[in-house]
Chains A and B, each alone.
Chain A
Amino acid sequence: MRALLLALVLASAGVAAHAQTAPTPAPLGDRGQSAADEMELMRTLQGGRIEGRITIPNQQAATLIQPAGREWREYHNRTLAWVGGIAVLGMIAVLAVFFFSRGRIRLEGGPSGQTIQRFNIIERANHWMVASCFIILALSGLNLTFGRYLLLPLVGPESFTAVSQWGKYAHNFLSFPFALGLVVMFLLWVKEAIPNARDITWFRQGGGFIGNRHPEAARFNAGQKVIFWITILGGGAVAASGYFLIFPFAATDIAGMQLSHIIHSLLSVLMIAAMLAHIYLGSLGMENAIDAMSSGQVDLKWAKEHHSLWVEEEMGKAPKGAKHV
């Protein structure tokens, strides 16, 4: 910058000396500041904004040019599309490979007939509130990035706008029960989800997915703890960044809005990938697993295989913990 100014001064001095012989116009743009295109170029390279003073009440309008929009466009149109596409499709591919090679994880020898309560009605209701909100939030969110290329050509502009408009309303409103559910979920399960030394053994044994050994686990095994913390920390960050977006410019400026969107969308696509794995294991991937979240009653044999320490603890708590069906 200083070197450039020096060069300008030297150049103008040169012209001034020359002007004694022939009346030459003063150098273009040399009226105390650099020219518009130079300033634009410099700010673009520095990633800074060109700002001034404005007389209308909207003070954000005082930003004349914000070159960061170009990076945000690049992120939104390329980075996010690629990361999101690879995360979601990649996870589906991994799960498909897992399903066709390993198959459904079955309960050997069939159920015992005895059941034990795994999740009570509050835990299940809260789980499904968060889950149903998440699915709609995820679909309406993915629609904003991929709908233009996937859905718009199929249904046409008017229908696509209707879908996206309702998706936006749903996305805004369902963020509240989703965030509430995260808080309740945290309070309900955090005690049993704190990582401990057993989790290392669980991971070392591949969680029982590789081979046929079942590593012992308490109420939540290490994999479930990971899902819990992805939901709480990831979901919390997504919700927090989402509230910056839902109340535009209430607490931040244009750079903050762009950053909020980047955090929100990037964490969201990664969470969608993680939840696909969770949904697979809770339903198709493992026999009897769905019972824990549907009726809340799981087969005792299944419980002993997957959560041996928890069953022992429950049995110890109440002698009639396992009820006969």
Chain B
Amino acid sequence: MARMKFLLDSDRCIECNACVTACKNEHEVPWGINRRRVVTLNDGRPGERSVSMACMHCTDAPCAAVCPVSCFYTTADAIVLHDKDLCIGCGYCFYACPFGAPQYPRVGNFGSRGKMDKCTYCAGGPQADNTAAEYTQYGANRIAEGKLPLCAEMCSTKALLAGDGDMIAQIYRERVQRRGYGAGAWGWRTAYREVVAI
């Protein structure tokens, strides 16, 4: 089985936010929730970089480790998913997540949290694949259709890569070797405890 990862080549990202928009549209993500976002570092200064970030589907995922109801699971492709029927919206995964991936709809009293929502790597959830129930809760399941996450698929500069970790690391490596520079894979050290050695 593949070990699915995201890889963002910040030397290519032009901060068009199309990945954010595509994600929201594909999964009909509610207002106020962004499964993916683009952060610009050193904005307007030398060394400006834009980084598109979502759930990185970590090795030894912190969200899963701290969840009081143990609602997370990892698929055979190493995609970290969660069961919204079990989530109680406590917010602990957001405290533990290094990437700020978990999002919560504001429902109920005290502006407290509803069931957590995050990037599913376009792999849906525990419901039967590509059912209406799965779509309502988690959005589209492109992985079950043999497709990759839409954000990476439609990225115009191919800054955002999704797929098997070894394959996308190889693509990035060849790219860096050809052009002669590369800032590295954002989040890899934190998420996968490894870096893309060129």
Contacts and interface: CB of A to CB of B under 8 A. Distances in A.
Contacts of B85: 158, 161
Interface residues of A, number: 62
Interface string A157-191: 11011001100100011000000000000000000
Given A26-B181, A172-B110, A246-B112, A62 B190 contact: no
Contacts of A73: 62, 65-66, 96
A147 B68 contact: yes
Interface in B31-55: 32, 34, 37-43, 46-47, 49, 51, 53
A46 to B, nearest CB: 14
B187 A65 contact: yes
Nearest to B60: A73
Interface string B88-116: 11111011111110001000011111000
B181 A66 contact: no
A261 B95 contact: yes
Given A31-B181, A36-B183, A44-B190, A172 B109 contact: yes
A32 B34 contact: no
Contacts of A77: 65-66
Contacts of A254: 94-95, 100
Contacts, number: 180
A50 B50 CA distance: 12
A148 B62 contact: no
B11 interface: yes
A35 B182 CA distance: 8
| Chain B interface, DSSP helix/strand/loop, else mixed | loop
A287 interface: no
Contact of B70 (A62, A148, A250): A148
Interface stretch (A53-61, A105-113, A129-137): A53-61
Given A56-B20, A67-B190, A32 B111 contact: no
B15 to A, nearest CB: 8
Contacts of B34: 56, 58, 61
A61 B39 contact: yes
A69 B43 CA distance: 25
A211 interface: no
B108 to A, nearest CB: 8
A41 B68 CA distance: 29
A28 B100 contact: no
Interface in B51-84: 51, 53, 62, 65-71, 83
A164 B99 contact: no
Interface of B: 10-11, 17, 20, 32, 34, 37-43, 46-47, 49, 51, 53, 62, 65-71, 83, 85-92, 94-100, 104, 109-113, 176-177, 179-190, 195-196, 198
Q: Which 5 A-B pairs have the closest CB atoms?
A: A25-B180, A33-B47, A36-B184, A32-B47, A37-B195
Given A31-B47, A33-B183, A172-B112, 8 more contacts: A25-B180, A25-B181, A40-B190, A54-B39, A56-B37, A65-B187, A143-B68, A161-B71
Interface of A: 25-33, 35-38, 40-41, 44, 50-56, 58, 60-67, 69-70, 72-73, 76-77, 143-145, 147-148, 152, 157-158, 160-161, 164-165, 168, 172-173, 245-248, 250, 254, 257-258, 261
